[in-house]
């Protein structure tokens, strides 16, 4: 039986205005944000399953705005300095419809349905990170012409 992470782990508290292109979420306050301020690397420790939560504020002129999350993992040693973590690979979805035993892999993008105007709390589904030591979150807005912003990006999960 796995145990839950006892409280959300703050990755970035400050507001981050999104764009139409994926950007790595980095911490802004080294003492309180758990996403490295240089690389965005997040030490997973014993976490085997993670999910994200944030507040997203849709831009006033957008009718389709929503955050799109991409989670990357690294198997670099847990002793690696967070600013130096490399060897990132996306969490993949497998498409087995190709037949003949072939499976096409696609980087998983998690895009909740469009939000109502104003602030909405969004999250991801649980993602298996049992084989990784590090996590990196990338995010962009589905409406790149009128992007919104995220705040209080946090991680929860199970060990």
Q: Kindly state the average pLDDT of the residues 24-29.
A: 92
**What topology is assigned to 9-158 in CATH?**
Jelly Rolls (2.60.120)
Which residue bears the tokens 């039986």?
Answer: 1
Q: Which residues, in sequence order, are CB contacts of 77 under 8 Å at separation 6+?
A: 133
> Where do we find the tokens 């690294």?
74
Return the structure tokens found at 79.
Answer: 């002793």
Q: What is the model's pLDDT at position 25?
A: 94
> What is the domain partition of the chain in residue ranges?
9-158
pTM of the complete model = 0.88
Residue range 141-150, pLDDT digits in tens: 999 999 999 9
Name the DSSP class of 107.
E
Model pLDDT, residue 99: 67
The span from the CA of 21 to the CA of 4, in Å, is: 33
Q: Name the average pLDDT for the chain.
A: 89
Structure-block tokens of residue 151: 């705040």
Bigger pLDDT: 87 vs 4: 87
Distance of CA 39 to the CA centre of its chain: 13
């Amino acid at each position: 039986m796995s145990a839950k992470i006892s409280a959300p782990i703050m990755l970035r508290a400050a507001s981050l205005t999104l764009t139409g292109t994926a950007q790595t979420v980095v911490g802004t306050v080294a003492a309180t944000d758990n996403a490295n301020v240089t690389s965005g690397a997040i030490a997973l420790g014993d976490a085997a399953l993670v999910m994200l939560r944030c507040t997203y504020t849709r831009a006033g002129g957008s009718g389709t705005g929503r955050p799109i999350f991409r989670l990357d993992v690294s198997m670099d040693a847990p002793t690696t300095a967070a600013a130096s973590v490399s060897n990132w690979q996306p969490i993949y979805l497998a498409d087995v419809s190709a037949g003949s035993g072939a499976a096409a892999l696609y980087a998983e993008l998690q895009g909740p349905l469009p939000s109502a105007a104003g602030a909405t709390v969004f999250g991801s589904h649980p993602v298996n990170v049992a084989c990784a030591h590090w996590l990196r979150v990338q995010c962009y807005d589905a409406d790149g012409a009128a992007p919104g912003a995220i705040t209080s990006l946090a991680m929860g999960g199970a060990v």
